[in-house]
Structure 1
Amino acid sequence: MNRTPYDWIFLMAFSLVLIVSGCGEGEKKEEKTPYFKADDDQGGLNLAPGMKAYVVAENIGRGRHIAVNDNGDIYLNLREPHDNGGIVAMRDTDGDGRADEIEYFSDFGGTGLAFYKGHLYATNDSTVFRFSFSDDKLIPDNASAPDTVVSGFTSQTQHAAKSITFDEQGHLYVNVGAPSNACQEQDRTRESPGMDPCPILERHGGVWRFDAERLGQTQQKDGHRFSTGIRNAVALGYNPNDGHVYAVQHGRDMLDGFWPELYDENENAEIPAEELFKLTDGADFGWPYCYYDPLQDKRVMSPEYGGDRETVGRCEGTEQPVMTFPAHWGPNDILFYTGDHFPEEYKNAALVVFHGSWNRAPLEQKGYFVAHVPFENGSPKGSYDPLAEGFAGVETIESPSDAQHRPTGIAQAPDGTVVISDSVSGKIWRVFYEGE
């Protein structure tokens, strides 16, 4: 068919309309992205340059670790079960980035929470459970009867939280904290000597490895003690960049109270360091025989085992930390950032959540923030800087009860933003990058 000049003009005009319409649709989709609309007060936080934040949900229960599904649904393990359940499920149904559908399930609370191969793994103080989903459901199909992956952890009144992580070879790692401060014959008693060898290390004070997918395992029958000499490492995470699991230890307490001839209260506030460990099979990090003195920048023998603040002794052969942090900051989670949303300096960096101290008196309490630790070639590069501060809501923290919020867990969302949980009232923040 022969076309007139008018026909060609019409076709060109029609095509231009389609192009413009397409651009308009693209702009509308961009406007629907919720992560570029921060709260006016950034959710009460002070953030690194270029970072913004908003509150996803609040007052949902005293939160511990947090996890995000591939579809963006957020899950939070609660310290104690809520009236309606021990795990909170959150979904954004209207595209504003906030959770407008919030439901509870499970009859237990705990700490550990992580997705692995589409399943949600959750822990209480004695068991690792697994929840399964189908048809994009918010609540798992087996919410009332989850699979038992690992059981048989002993009942303990100290450091009972079971944090978890997974590697890329099909292994599950579980922190088993020591139910003791320093393995004394009489725990937390002035000048009581340490048990030698420390029997607690047989089933506690380290990280155990299991099959990530096999059900019905127990610690004694199926667990492999992967790394030992770790007092308690609630912060446990896998670094895919170098293929290692990392842990941040809660250091020991009360050096001045139990050994007043060697330490005063100001020294107790600054000793020992919180240590970042790169775990390897068979590694021993020294607890309870040793602690890391940041004032001397070395690991020395504990007073319970004859230490005099100077002697290295039996600590000589222990595995050293790859980085240390100030005393008693309470590291409770660690995430290795793999997304593309944050600036390049965050790629493969560790984000460490400090829950905050309780025993730095007479000095003020510290921690209560999320640190950014740059990594290069599988090792920390330089020092750390804050990603997010201001959770406590007060300038001076004399006691943990002064803090309005305490950061506890962190997880990366599929879009590269991160979500952070709170253990006081259950507040959830999303942190995103907007640019300076």
Structure 2
Amino acid sequence: MSKTSHKLFDLRAKWLFLFVIILLFSGCKEKQENSVKEPVLKISPDNEGIIVPDGFGVMKVADSLGAPRHIAVNSNGGVYLKLRKPIDGEGIIYLEDQDGDGIADSKKGFADYGGTGIYLDNNYLYASSDEEIFRYKLNAEGEVTDTNSPDTLVTKLVSYRTHATKSFTMDGDGNIYVNIGAYSNACQETDRTLGSPGVMPCAILDSAGGIWQFRSDKFKQSYGEGKRYATGLRNVVGLDWNNQLNKLVVTQHGRDQLNTLYPDLYDTETSAKLPAETMYIINEGDDAGWPYIYYDQFQNKKILSPEYGGDGKKTAGENAIDPITTFPAHMAPNALLFYTGDMFPEEYKNGAFIAFHGSWNRAPEKQKGFLVAFVPFNDGKPSGEWQIFADGFAGIEEVSSPSEANHRPTGLAQGPDGSLYVSDDAGGTLFRIVYNKK
């Protein structure tokens, strides 16, 4: 063999040796990478006592949070919670799960005001007090960096002790839809008083008892700058924008105390079962009829309120809109969420989840609610009866008083993975419901 051939052979041997070393190194690295396990969600063995359909699991993300109301989740899974009352000057809590097990291990707070409403878009966090709506700039990670200087978008809204919270949602086109709850049960001359007649016309409706629309790009708007989008809504704590319909959908708290105020017309059992809690599709200019009517889900009719001459049978409200679905009385629908995620089975896609806070005024009947319900939708309309999705929040079978309930669902949010978050303002807990696709 010539010297040249020897040199070529040695060179080829060296390259072959180097190639083998690279292959071995790559294999070891790949094996090492494959041995790194993905974070496993710490689903509770007993689902935290919550009853959910087969295939679903529940975990407790955090507790001891005070009274969290509505919630919002950013694209990284960070959770913002609005507290009804601030704790140590912090009315918004931000939770992060840094190791991916589903349990919050980082907690920060800001905003020295209480309230209910909170909302996220790609650029801002929005939050409400009982009189105002604020806007905070987000960074690329979906976090608020300047917590001390929010923009004030809406101000000087009516706020009395009754139905004071300002729930809101947005439509993607820069419009904010704000619930301004009626500061009355049924617009009596003397509220919640036996035999007191209803005010005609109800003066409350000039500044409350409806939905007002404002812009997200204007500062310090009030009634003059906004417009009354819909009226005749007693108190709408749950509201969401339905993207299939491109319309606002709301859930209303129905009136109370038919038997207490009109014992000659309604017995205690009837009063516990009437009127329905209602869900409406809202168009601009709609009137749902409060306080002049209520909806009787057994007669499937709009009934004239006794404060205005009704007897439980007389119908009225011919120009008022009808609900698209109804629920049992007094269960208090406190949050509405249209599910658009991919984690849950297909039958949940585009359907509505409702968080029911639970009743207080069904005595001597047992209280009801304290659950998350689901309404299937097709093409933006209900396609079936409502069903219980998650139950057992109360922790006891029969609830005589809401103070007995361990948990009272009040907020809903969808995570970036499609999981469902549920807040509870009785136990101060944040739950997360996931679906195991295996």
Gap regions ≥5 residues in structure 1: none
Q: Is the CA contact 1:51–1:435 (under 8 Å) kept in the aligned structure 2? A: no
Q: Is the CA contact 1:49–1:435 (under 8 Å) kept in the aligned structure 2? A: no
CA–CA separation in structure 2 for the residues paired with 1:417 and 1:26: 26
CA–CA separation in structure 1 for the residues paired with 2:34 and 2:386: 39
Gap regions ≥5 residues in structure 2: 1-7
Q: Is the CA contact 1:300–1:307 (under 8 Å) kept in the aligned structure 2? A: yes
Among 165, 169, 173, the residue aligned to 1:165: 169
Q: Is the CA contact 2:119–2:169 (under 8 Å) kept in the aligned structure 1? A: yes
Aligned to 1:87: 92
* 1:187 aligns to 2:191 (yes or no): yes
Question: For residues 390 and 305 of structure 1, do their structure 2 counterparts lie closer, same or farther at Cα, with a shift above 3 Å needed?
Answer: same
1:240, CA displacement in angstroms?
1.2
Q: Secondary structure at the match of 2:284?
A: coil
Among 216, 230, 237, the residue aligned to 1:227: 230
CA–CA separation in structure 1 for the residues paired with 2:32 and 2:375: 41
CA–CA separation in structure 1 for the residues paired with 2:339 and 2:34: 29
Q: Is the CA contact 2:123–2:139 (under 8 Å) kept in the aligned structure 1? A: no
Computing the radius of gyration over CA atoms, which structure comes out larger, 1 or 2? 2
Q: Is the CA contact 2:76–2:142 (under 8 Å) kept in the aligned structure 1? A: no
Question: For residues 26 and 115 of structure 1, do their structure 2 counterparts lie closer, same or farther at Cα, with a shift above 3 Å needed?
Answer: farther
Question: For residues 257 and 13 of structure 1, do their structure 2 counterparts lie closer, same or farther at Cα, with a shift above 3 Å needed?
Answer: same
1:173, CA displacement in angstroms?
0.5
Matched residue type, 2:261: F
Aligned to 2:5: none
Spell out, residue by residue over 1:13-58, the C-alpha distance to the aligned partner (whole angstroms, 9 max, x if none): 96598478547635735x22x44x3111212211122111111100
CA–CA separation in structure 1 for the residues paired with 2:206 and 2:142: 41
Question: For residues 24 and 109 of structure 1, do their structure 2 counterparts lie closer, same or farther at Cα, with a shift above 3 Å needed?
Answer: same
Q: Is the CA contact 1:107–1:144 (under 8 Å) kept in the aligned structure 2? A: no
1:141, CA displacement in angstroms?
3.0
Aligned to 2:357: 355
Identity %: 45
The TM-score normalised by the length of structure 2 is 0.93
Matched residue type, 1:272: P
Spell out, residue by residue over 1:193-239, the C-alpha distance to the aligned partner (whole angstroms, 9 max, x if none): 11111111111111111112222211x21111111110000001111
Q: Is the CA contact 2:51–2:390 (under 8 Å) kept in the aligned structure 1? A: yes
Q: Is the CA contact 2:324–2:382 (under 8 Å) kept in the aligned structure 1? A: yes
CA–CA separation in structure 2 for the residues paired with 1:258 and 1:236: 29
Q: Is the CA contact 1:410–1:418 (under 8 Å) kept in the aligned structure 2? A: yes
Q: Secondary structure at the match of 1:142?
A: coil
Matched residue type, 1:248: T
Matched residue type, 1:152: K
Matched residue type, 2:55: G
Matched residue type, 2:182: A
Q: Secondary structure at the match of 2:103?
A: coil
Moved more, 40-49 or 375-384: 40-49
Q: Is the CA contact 1:228–1:282 (under 8 Å) kept in the aligned structure 2? A: yes
Q: Is the CA contact 1:67–1:115 (under 8 Å) kept in the aligned structure 2? A: yes
Within 5 Å, give how 1:397-408 maps onto structure 2. Answer: 397-408=399-410
The TM-score normalised by the length of structure 1 is 0.93
Within 5 Å, give how 1:63-212 maps onto structure 2. Answer: 63-134=68-139, 136=141, 138=143, 140-212=144-216
Aligned to 1:291: 294
Moved more, 416-425 or 327-336: 416-425
Matched residue type, 2:253: H
Question: For residues 26 and 160 of structure 1, do their structure 2 counterparts lie closer, same or farther at Cα, with a shift above 3 Å needed?
Answer: farther
CA–CA separation in structure 1 for the residues paired with 2:169 and 2:281: 14
Within 5 Å, give how 1:212-291 maps onto structure 2. Answer: 212-218=216-222, 220-291=223-294
* 1:393 aligns to 2:395 (yes or no): yes
Q: Is the CA contact 1:232–1:250 (under 8 Å) kept in the aligned structure 2? A: yes
Q: Is the CA contact 1:48–1:386 (under 8 Å) kept in the aligned structure 2? A: no
